[in-house]
Every structure is written in structure tokens, then in C-alpha cells.
Amino acid sequence: MSHPLNADSIQQQVVAMYERHPFPAYSDKFRKTAEEMDLKMRLLGVPQSDYHGRKILDAGCGTGEFTCWYAARGNEVTAIDLSRPSLEHAKAYAARYHLDDRIDFQQQSVLHLNLPNETFDFVYCYGVLHHTPDPHRGFRELVRVCKPGGIVVVSVYNRYSRFTHRLRQKLIARWAGDDVERRCRLGKRLFPRTARRIKKRAHDASDAVLYDQFSQPHESSHTVGEVLGWMDQSGLSYIGAFGPLRLRDHLYAACLPEFREFEKTFDGYPGPRMAAALLRSVAHLAGMKATEDRAFARPGVLSRFLVQMGWFFLGLRFSCFSIAGRKPIEAD
């Protein structure tokens, strides 16, 4: 990020970084999915029937944590990534848990999917589009390969969070140039506490998460309105988001049993932990009740503004937000 890059060199540098340092490298890969995924699916408004026994695309699968989570639920998964070493890690991980016969790993780009139209019931793309030179193009590709009536979920960096981290990244890039090894070394030297906290949170004995956070050659950040705009242009209807995009949906989240498991992800972050406990108390006082397959309304402008201000001021741990949309059954 020390000087502007063109699209080809953005992609090359990003992939070269993930080829040298496949991400994620968590020591317990099931931990993160176990903490997050059940709550995430409920708040994304995705019924279980949409991600059990289905055909799923995990686009930009990295080392396969989500791929395996889906495969373990009886889905037939296609997992793509541009980094060959990441795919090799993912394959080995899948084989260890005897999930490999349900997964087709392919090296290809989310920007030019070599996959037929309308192939998948469920398309998932977590933390990938913002590392490409053209996230909107990637989004359109995901919609293209989704079947009518199917679901597309994307997660991108949130424009209204991690300001201090972006400053760190700028400083590191300015001093260390484009060399990802120098960037990571400098990041650890300048920000040792942050480095320790990032690694601890990620349960990452290697430095893979530090390369992802300190040495990143390219990342863009996005607003909720921007992603809703992509959905509108592709004709998807909004079904839910994680984190929730309306205040009442935050309260609803806090009354779900899965929220207790999710709160563990705030360990080491006293602010968000207190906010979560407060939210639970308010949800209790407000008499919120969990219901199966609740439908979430699309957030209005005021809700989006308030939630994004919350992310900004409270620094809640939504450095990425996810939005789910359903593709219409009838093509226009």
C-alpha cells in the first residue's frame, strides 16, 4: 500500500503473500467456526435446510475452515482459492477429518469463475472480495453461479472500524515498503502488544495472522449501503446480516443461546465484552424470545447509520460484516 498498484499487480502481490503464508493457520480450526457459525447463520436469516445436504461454493476458501464446516453438514462443497499452498493445507485438513470425498478443491479466481451459471444452492465468500482489485465484479460472479432461489453470503471489511489498525498498516508500509517479510518484522517490532493480542485471539502459533494483518498488499473497506447496492443491482433480496444491522436485531441476537458461545470471541476485549453483557440484560428486560427461522427486515437508512456509528464509537469487533441475499426464482 505504499504506492498505487494496478489490478494485475494487486492480485499477484496478494496471492504471493498468501502462497508464502497460507491463512488462516489456527491451531484449532474448529474453534472459530464452533464459536461463530451457528449464531451467524441464524442472524443471516439462513434456514438450516439451506446449508444441509446442499451444493455449496466456498469462494476464497483459504486453508479450508469454513469449507470443512460445510462439508461436515452433508453438503457437497466446491472450494476455490488462487493460492495453491492454501488449497493444499485445506485438502490435508479435510482428509484428516475424512471430509475430502465431499469437497472439490480448485485453483481459480473469484473474479473469473470457471464454473457454469446457476450451479450452487449456497455461495459463501468470507474475507476475500476486499483483497481483490474489483470486489463488485467478484460479487456478480458469485451471483451468476448461484441457483435461482439460492443464497449468496459475502463478508467484507467494514469502512467504519479498525481505523487505528489501518494507521498501523500505513505506517508499516511507509517504512518497510512492499516486502511482506519486512512489513511483518516491523509490525512486530513497532506494535508488540497488538501482535501478541492478534496471535492470542487467533490461537495462531505461526505468524500467518500477522502477515494477514500487518503485511497485507491490498485491502478495501466497504459500507453496508454499498453492499446492499450490489445486491439491488443483482436482484437479490436481503435476508439478514452479521453483525445485525438494526438495533432490535442486536437485542434479538443477545437473547439467542448461540450468543453465549459467540461472546467467547470477545475474550481479551473488555469493551465489547461489557457491551455484550449489557445487550443481554436489555434483551432480557425487553422480553426478547428466540424463534426458529426469524425473518429480518432490510435496514433503513437510519438503522444503518446508527449501527455503523456504533461500530465506529464502540469499536465492536465487526471488522468484517456479512450480508446474505436470496436470488429470485424467476429471472426478469
Ligand X SMILES: C[S@@+](CC[C@H](N)C(=O)[O-])C[C@H]1O[C@@H](n2cnc3c(N)ncnc32)[C@H](O)[C@@H]1O
109 is a site residue for ligand X (CB under 6 A): yes
86 is a site residue for ligand X (CB under 6 A): yes
The minimum distance between CB 131 and ligand X, in angstroms, equals 5
Is there a contact between 110 and 60 (Cβ–Cβ < 8 Å)?
yes
82 is a site residue for ligand X (CB under 6 A): yes
Place of cell 467494514: 158
24 is a site residue for ligand X (CB under 6 A): yes
The minimum distance between CB 280 and ligand X, in angstroms, equals 27
The minimum distance between CB 206 and ligand X, in angstroms, equals 14
In the list 36, 50, 81, 207, the residue contacting ligand X (rule: CB under 6 A) is 81
Q: Which helix (H) or strand (E) holds 97?
A: none
For the window 178-217, what string marks contact with ligand X as x by the rule CB under 6 A? ----------------------------------x-----
The alpha carbon of 98 is separated from its chain's Cα centroid by a whole number of angstroms, namely 25
- DSSP code per residue over 312-330: HHH--S-SEEEEEEE--SS
Which residues are 55's β-sheet partners? Answer: 76
In the list 111, 171, 190, 290, the residue contacting ligand X (rule: CB under 6 A) is 111
135 is a site residue for ligand X (CB under 6 A): no
Give the integer Cα–Cα distance in Å for 157 and 323.
12
15 is a site residue for ligand X (CB under 6 A): yes
Cβ proximity to ligand X, 7 vs 95, nearer residue: 7
Which residues are 51's β-sheet partners? Answer: none
Give the integer Cα–Cα distance in Å for 35 and 66.
12
The minimum distance between CB 109 and ligand X, in angstroms, equals 4
φ and ψ of 78, to 5 deg:
-105, 125
Q: Is the peptide bond before 24 cis (omega within 30 degrees of 0)?
A: yes
In the list 43, 94, 128, 324, the residue contacting ligand X (rule: CB under 6 A) is 128
Give the integer Cα–Cα distance in Å for 89 and 30.
15
Binding window for ligand X (CB under 6 A); candidates: 124-132, 195-203, 227-235, 280-288: 124-132
Cβ proximity to ligand X, 56 vs 61, nearer residue: 61
Which residues are 326's β-sheet partners? Answer: 151, 237
In the list 45, 127, 150, 217, the residue contacting ligand X (rule: CB under 6 A) is 127
In the list 78, 83, 308, 322, the residue contacting ligand X (rule: CB under 6 A) is 83
The minimum distance between CB 166 and ligand X, in angstroms, equals 16
> Closest residue to ligand X, Cβ-based?
62
62 is a site residue for ligand X (CB under 6 A): yes
321 is a site residue for ligand X (CB under 6 A): no
Binding window for ligand X (CB under 6 A); candidates: 49-57, 89-97, 128-136, 182-190: 128-136
Is there a contact between 58 and 72 (Cβ–Cβ < 8 Å)?
no
Which residues are 240's β-sheet partners? Answer: 324
The minimum distance between CB 55 and ligand X, in angstroms, equals 18
249 is a site residue for ligand X (CB under 6 A): no
The minimum distance between CB 143 and ligand X, in angstroms, equals 16
User: What angle, 0 to 180 degrees and rounded to 10, lies between the N-to-C axes of helices 7-20 and 84-96?
Assistant: 40
Which residues are 78's β-sheet partners? Answer: 57, 104
Give the integer Cα–Cα distance in Å for 256 and 290.
6
Give the integer Cα–Cα distance in Å for 107 and 86.
10
The alpha carbon of 194 is separated from its chain's Cα centroid by a whole number of angstroms, namely 21
Contact set with ligand X (CB under 6 A): 11, 14-15, 18, 23-24, 60-62, 65, 80-83, 86, 109-111, 126-128, 131-132, 212
